[in-house]
Amino acid sequence: MSRPYTPKVLTANALLEGDVVWLDAQGQWTRRMEQAALIEDEATADLHLLDAHARGHEVVGAYLADARPGPKGPEPTHFREDFRTRGPSNYAHGKQEAQ
């Protein structure tokens, strides 16, 4: 018996900057997970992933990550994705510098 599908977000790294990005509902890349599209259908998730792989001129390393609905938008369910929402950890820059 297969597992039930859990909601996902599509994430990758921006090709030029290396920033973590998520696909939003308009098909654009955003640097904020809460603005990502929460994909609740497996077939739709697979189509978005195929499209992301075809957009190699924009992003690298695209994959589907488990997520859950939150009050501000999708939230991570795994520590790896939670960590990725905070930006680089080696020194304050990017998302950390803005805070």
- Tell me whether residue 96 is in a domain: no
- Tell me whether residue 97 is in a domain: no
Residue corresponding to tokens 């039930």: 4
- Output the average pLDDT for the chain: 90
- Tell me whether residue 65 is in a domain: yes
Residues 47-88: tens digit of each pLDDT: 999 999 999 999 999 999 999 999 999 999 998 999 888 876
Domain span at residue 72 reads 8-88
The values of phi and psi at residue 8, to 5°, are -135, 160
pLDDT band at 95 (very low <50, low <70, confident <90, very high): low
- Tell me whether residue 3 is in a domain: no
Rg (CA), the chain: 13
Give the sheet arrangement for strand 74-76, strand by strand.
Answer: 29-30, 20-23, 8-14, 59-69, 74-76
